[in-house]
Structure 1
Amino acid sequence: MASTPLSLILLTLINLQLLLLLSPQTQAQTPSAPAPSPSGPINVTGILDKNGQYTTLIRLLNETQVGNQIVSQLNSSTEGMSLFAPTDNAFNNLASGALNGLNDQQKVQLVQYHVTPKYYSVSDLLTVSNPVRTQASGATGVWGLNFTGKGNQVNVSTGLVVTQINNLLRQQFPFAVYQVDQVLLPEELFGAKPPASAPAPAKTPSGSPNTKTNSTAGGALAPTGAGGRNLVGWGLALVLGLACMAALS
């Protein structure tokens, strides 16, 4: 029986140790789990490549360097950005030579026309004020897009093309990517060109075309017709007479 008090003491010490381990102060001193590392930069072409039908758009983003511009702006802007991505079929349905007919600067403008310098969710696009400014806007004016729709259906218009947003590839701030089934053609590049001005008509000579005038070396008008011939004859006779009188004198 003498061992009973010793057992009670040991149990008490064990309980105290457990209480200390479970106390809030002890828990606060335990190291917390490491915070998740921030995600890396947004891979624009990676988002498109993952879906497998944007080969032409990826090529244009790389050739024009617009893809790098998007990444750079996303890292420095608080507004975010949105990309409207035409599929390969959309590019294949363009008129023959439509892309090849553009110079390098125009290709940059075409790709930039599919990018807005602000993040828009689907609900934003339904209530946005048109026209929406694109990255192609600048000294040449506002290259804008117009959005209309109802419910979850959103249509985008350029003035030459109207198409529907069919797939949400990414809708997470700061970058939204929406699939469109037609290439968004800006009027500034593909609209009707103004007709070339016609050359000014040649000036007609003044006076009647039937008027016949003869000029002398001094610019005086020479007499014409029968009356003119008579005057010439009298003039010659007078000259001969004066010559004779001078010879006889």
Structure 2
Amino acid sequence: MEKLAVASTIVVCLILSLLFSNANAAKNGGSHNITRILAKNPDFSTFNHYLSATHLADEINRRRTITVLTVDNAGMSDLLSKHFNIYTLKNVLSLHVLADYFGAKKLHQISNRTTLVSSLFQATGAASGTAGYINITDIRGGIVGFGAEDNDGSLHSFYIKSVFEIPYVISVLQISHPLSSPDAEAPTSGPGLVNLTVIMAKQGCKGFADLLRPSKALPAFEHNVDGGLTVFCPTDDAVTSFLPKYKNLTDSEKESLLLYHGVPEYETLQMLRSHNGRMNTLATEGANKFDFSVKSKGEDVMLNTKIVTSNIVGTLIDQDPVVVYKIDEFLLPRELFKEAPAMVPAESPKPAKKKKKAASPEEAHSPDSADSPDSFSDNQKAADDDNGSTGSNNGFGFITLLVTVVMGFLLL
């Protein structure tokens, strides 16, 4: 009985430790959402609203080492009273997003008590010189000041409190006043006209650009540029491989196929990774669905049409409200192409019953062997895939092992 009590205690403690470890890992390893973080505090509702309106929220969510300097509604009222257009306001708010992690503790551990940190305004290339850098200075007495580098070194905003932190991933800090910068506040016009076919031709998608340029599909792409557009552009190798089939399509089918590669919405990679569902395209109309599924595995994003699966392998341009991705396969809609029947492997003929003998090297490595290295590798790969998505199978296997060890201990 004493052995049983000790063993039971060990199992319970180890299981609880494992569950706590998994929960903590999930908490720190998951993606963050700045909109949800700020929504918990009504005092930041205006700042939160304009992060979404300028699409900075999407940029914040897809970065993994970042600090957001938020101001309350009163501070935002002062900023909005300057009547900046949405593009200038985006530049100003970009000063409040630092491309490094600064938690409350780190603010008071700055070397030499002062440092310069790049903001998103600097990272986007919109700032001139070092105008997008933010000066952080740990003033004596626990006061920390913030100021734009091109503002004569003036520290006119100060640290108030920490709002939210995931160590070394994201920190949200409240500061007393909005940061100002002559460079960021300079009048800014909207993004210039995006020439899709020129961008494609210069970055490895010339084949698709050559198909799109003379087609009736191009105006539909251009019409959606201002309102939001995502384009999936097959690589030149993918176009070359598919070209013989493309030439056999009617003009109407070619138009639908090209439109199938566009989505009338701006979809960042982070948004695509969290989508995991069906997505309509420029070709979608009434009963003609012309949709495909978006799936993700870690950082990878795949588009599945049920005819073919294509992977996003690069980004040609991401300039809100337009983004163009490079994919490794031509997307083939079910409305134009038939789904290939699933191939059922033929069963190996059963050998005649003979006297047992030692297995040959070929038989020992046969895929049909349950204990073969290939079989183990496949099973391990499947387990790794499952662990990558949830992590629960690994914990279950570990718990099973613990129980087995303890049962062995009890039988001694």
* TM-score normalised per structure 2: 0.36
1:72, CA displacement in angstroms? 2.0
SS in 2 for 1:166: strand
Match of 1:71 among 218, 222, 225: 222
Match of 2:241 among 62, 85, 93: 93
1:36, CA displacement in angstroms? 4.4
Partners of 1:34 and 1:116 in 2: how far apart? 33
Partners of 2:339 and 2:313 in 1: how far apart? 29
User: Matched residue pairs, number?
Assistant: 156
Partners of 1:71 and 1:48 in 2: how far apart? 14
SS in 1 for 2:213: helix
What RMSD in Å do the two structures reach over aligned CA positions?
Answer: 2.1
Match of 1:171 in 2: 318
Match of 1:43 in 2: 195
1:69, CA displacement in angstroms? 2.2
5+ long unaligned stretches in structure 2: 1-184, 341-412
Q: Which amino acid counterpart does residue 91 of structure 1 have in structure 2?
A: V
Q: Is residue 291 of structure 2 the alignment partner of residue 144 of structure 1? A: yes
Q: Which amino acid counterpart does residue 201 of structure 2 have in structure 1?
A: D
Alignment of 1:207-218 (within 5 A): none
Q: Is residue 210 of structure 2 the alignment partner of residue 59 of structure 1? A: yes
Q: Is the 8 A contact 1:45 1:58 kept in 2?
A: yes
Q: Is residue 269 of structure 2 the alignment partner of residue 117 of structure 1? A: no
1:133, CA displacement in angstroms? 0.3
* TM-score normalised per structure 1: 0.58
Q: Is the 8 A contact 2:303 2:309 kept in 1?
A: yes
Q: Is the 8 A contact 2:290 2:333 kept in 1?
A: yes
1:114, CA displacement in angstroms? 0.5
Partners of 1:93 and 1:152 in 2: how far apart? 27
Identity of aligned residues (%): 28
Change (3 A) 1:44 1:124: same
1:54, CA displacement in angstroms? 1.8
Partners of 1:90 and 1:168 in 2: how far apart? 16
Alignment of 1:215-230 (within 5 A): none
Q: Which amino acid counterpart does residue 138 of structure 1 have in structure 2?
A: E
Partners of 1:150 and 1:63 in 2: how far apart? 36
**CA offsets per residue over residues 127-175 of structure 1, 9 Å max, x none?**
2152100111113421111111133211111101112111011223101
Partners of 2:206 and 2:194 in 1: how far apart? 18
Q: Is the 8 A contact 2:233 2:261 kept in 1?
A: yes
1:68, CA displacement in angstroms? 2.8
Alignment of 1:147-166 (within 5 A): 147-166=294-313
Q: Is the 8 A contact 2:208 2:235 kept in 1?
A: yes
Q: Is the 8 A contact 1:57 1:87 kept in 2?
A: yes
